[in-house]
Structure 1
Amino acid sequence: MKALYIKGIAIFIITIILGVFWLRNPQLFPKPPEDIALFIINFFGAETQESIANIELIYVFFVAAIMSTVIVTLIPYKKILTSLSKRRS
């Protein structure tokens, strides 16, 4: 159960860090395909630049959350926690 909390906190922190880094350096990340971007803009009914910026913010943090979940899932936390508990003993 402890590992589940650690994974949740790790996903949250990595999502925030990755999202902020992505928003500050958008040239380092791939852009979504134009068809998908236009579909999302039309789906939300964005008409102004401010509403498009809000959609971009949602998109960035949604993709960052998916990426951080994959990253955290691939890390073997049980081995890390076991080795840390052995060091404390």
Structure 2
Amino acid sequence: MEYLRKYELWDTNIYNPDKATYIGSYNNGEMPGSFGYYEETLYKNEEDEFFIINSAVDSDEGDLILLPDEEELLAWAENHLDVDLYIKYFGAVSE
């Protein structure tokens, strides 16, 4: 998965969560603010591109913008979104 530091593209508004549609988020279950805590939040921008903001308490790099390819995106969504949200953005899962 490609990633960028938030400050590298934040000003372009392409990967700015304030200008994108929030879809859903996931955290690792640790207490917010504690060492090891992280949260990933999925957004869709105006160009219909999906990106994930990874926020980790113990990261020296700050928030990261993750740019998943299609396979990584679908895997993330399948593991972290409820069924209705998954279907809304990615369609029904075929077996």
Length-normalised TM-score, structure 2: 0.27
Higher helix share: 1
Greater Rg over alpha carbons, structure:
1
**Structure with the greater relative contact order (CA < 8 A, sep ≥ 6): 1 or 2?**
1
Length-normalised TM-score, structure 1: 0.28
